[in-house]
Structure 1
Amino acid sequence: MSRELSTRANNVERLPSIPDNDTNLIFGEASVRYSKGRLLGFVTDEYIRAVRSQRKSIDGFFKALRELNSNDAKSLLYMKNSLDDNSHKNIAFDNDDYKNLLIEYLKDHPDPLQEYNDLIYYKIKNNLPEKYLDWFKKDLRCSLFLAFLVKKSIENDVYKGRDELLEEVVDYLRYDIEIFNSDYSQNLPHYRWDIMKSGERKTADILYIKSYYLKNRLDCDKNISWVKPTDNEQINWMYNYLDDKDRKYIILKGMFFPQTINEKYELILASLDVLSNVESPDIGTKDKKGFSLRNYTLYSMKKAWDGRKQYEANNFLNENSSVKVTKENQPKLKKLMKFSGFTANKVINHSIEQLYDELIVDKKND
C-alpha cells in the first residue's frame, strides 16, 4: 500500500457541518466492512469527493469515528505505527486513549479520509479477524499452549497472572499472525492425531492449530478425574512433581507467574497438553512399556500421589495407637490436616507446643 497520497483536503474547518446522524452517508451500508460490521467500513468515494470539493464538512467523519470501540481503534493505531516503522510505540494505553490518539493522528493528517481507508485496507489484508481469536482469547489453558508455541518471541517478557498473559497472546495473534505462522512449527508437539491444513494462508495455520490442539489435548474427565482443581495441597504437589529436576515439564517457567490456585491448575493442564500422546516402545516401566510420554507421566504421578496418601493414612493410624483421638474430634483433625498441609502428628505436636506456651511458659513469666 502506498503511503504517498497526492490529493489533500485543505481548509476543511471552514466547510459547513453535516447532521450527526449522517454516519451512513459517510461510510455507507453497502461499503466494505471488517469482521461482520464490528469496525466502521471504508469511507465512501462519494463522501471523499464531496469533502475535497468543499461541499461537505469533515466533522461528521470524526464524530463517526467516536463509534469505534477501543480494540478497533487500537488495531488501526498499531497499524499506523507499524507502517511508519514505529512499532516500539505500540504500548498499552487506557481504553479511551486509543481512540483519542487515532483521531488526533487523523486530524493532523493532510488527507485523513484516504489515510483512514488505507489503514482499514491494511488491517483487512494483514490482521487476523476477530472471529479466529474467540476460541482462545478468554481461555487461559489454550492461550498458554499458544504462548508455548512462540515462547522464543516473548521470552524476554513476564506475565503476572491470567489477564496479562491473555492480552499478550491475543495481541500477538491479532497483529503478528504472519510471524506466528512462520515460527509456531518449531515448538509444535508430536501428537497422535493429525489433520489436513487448508484454506487461505493467513487463517489456515491458526485453524490447523485449533483442531490439532483440541483433538489431542488432555481429556480431564477421562485422564485426571482423580484431581480436585480446588485442592491447594494436591495442585501444589502436582506442580512440584512436574517441575522436579528429573522432569521439568512445567512450561513458560520464568515467564508466566500464576496468581491463584486455578491459574496454577490451568498451567499444569497446559504443561501436560504439550507432552506427546504418541505411544513409544521405549517408554514405560521395566515390565510394561508402550506408553506415550503423557500417559506415562500421568501414570507415574497418580501412583506417587496414591503412595503419598497411603503413607499419610498409615501414619495417621499409627499415631492414633499412641495418642487417642476421640471420634468427635477425628473430623476436626482431618480438616486441620487439610487446611494446614500437616500430618496428624504435626498437628497434634503443634497444638501441644501452643498450649505449652500459653499455659506453662506464659504462666511462669507472670
Structure 2
Amino acid sequence: MNIYYAPMEGITTYLYRQLHNEYFGGVDKYFTPFISVFPDHYIKKRDEREIDPANNLGMKTVPQVLANSSKELIWIFKKLTAMGYDEVNLNLGCPSGTVTAKGRGSGFLKDPAELDRFFEEVFDSLGDDAKMLSVKTRIGYLDASEMEHLSEIYAKYPIKELTIHPRIRKQFYKGVPDMAVFEKALVASSCPVCYNGNVFTLEDYKDICRRYGDHIDINTNDNHFDVNLLNSNNKKDNLNDLKSNDIDGIYHINKSGCVDNKISSVMLGRGIVADPSLGRQIKGGAKMDKAEFREFRRALENMYKEHLKDSHNVHNKMKEMWFYMSQSFEGTDKYIKNILKSKSFSEYQAAVNTLEGNCEIKSGPNATPVSF
C-alpha cells in the first residue's frame, strides 16, 4: 500500500516536507500545496520554490495544481514534466470559498459538463503524456449523489490515479466521510484509487485496509454498491460472465461473489500532521516518543526562524502547527489554550514547555506492516 502525505496549504511547505522526511519518513509521495495558475501563464514565486527540484531532493514529490482552464493546466503540466516530474495532480477537492467562487477546486464539480469538456481537451492535447495526470476529488459540491455522474466522467479518461475524499464541499472537514458513496466510486473507477479522509491513527489505517484493501462483498445489506456500477454494459444477469473477466485490469468478481476492489494508496492529512510518525508506524516502524517529538518540534522552530526571519511569523506558524500536533498528547485541553493564546514567542515557549512537561504522548502499539 502506498502512503501519501496530503497537501495542506501553509503547513506542508517544502521546508516542512524536507524536515518530516529527514526525521520520520514512511511516506511514498509528498504532495505540494496547490499551485495556482494565472491566465497569462505564470505562478507565484512562492510556488516556484515549492516545485524547485533542489528543494525536493531525497523524496518523491508530486506538484498539485489548481486550474479550471485546459490551457492553464496544459501549460503548467508541460512546465512541470519538463522539470522532471513524472506526475502532476489536479485539485478538484479544495473547499475554500475563495477557490470555489472562481470555479476551481471542488467548485469545478458544480459543472460536470464543463469538467468533461476540460478533460477531453487536456487528454487530447497531451496525448500519451496525459497518463502522468492524477486527480484528487471530493464526491460532490452540494450532494453526494453527484459522484455517480462524476465517476462516469473520470472513467472516460486514462487518469493515473484518482484520490477520493468522500465528503462534499459544504462539509469542509466536518462530519464523517460517506463510505457508501466511496465504495460505489471505487467500483466505478477505471484507474487506481487512493483513499483520503479521517485516517488519524494506525487503527484507522488498518480499518481502511480491511475494508478496501481486500474485497467488498456485494451480497450485503449495509449500503454497499450496486454491481451495475461496475460497467454500464454489465447487468446483474451477467454476473457469472464477469467472474472470470478482469474489469480494467483492477477489479474482478471472484468465486465467492465478491469484487476484489483494492485501493492503491492511502493519503494522510491532519492525522500525520498531528502524529508525524504515523507513516512510519504504518510501514512497521516505531511510534514517536516525547523526546523525538521535542527534537522535531525544535527543529521546526529553528527552520522557521532561519527562513521566516520575523519572530512574529515564526510564532504564528508554530501556533498553527500546535493546533494539530497537540492531538498527539493526552490531556492537553488547558495547556494548548495557553499556546494558542500566547502573545509573544517567549510566552509561546513557556506554554510549550509546560505542555510537554505535563502531558504524555498518546499510547498505542507499534505498527506491524499491513499489506494486501
Structure with higher Rg: it is 1
TM range (shorter): under 0.3
Higher relative contact order (Cα pairs below 8 Å, separated by 6+ residues)? 2
Structure with the largest fraction of helix: 1
Structure with the largest fraction of strand: 2
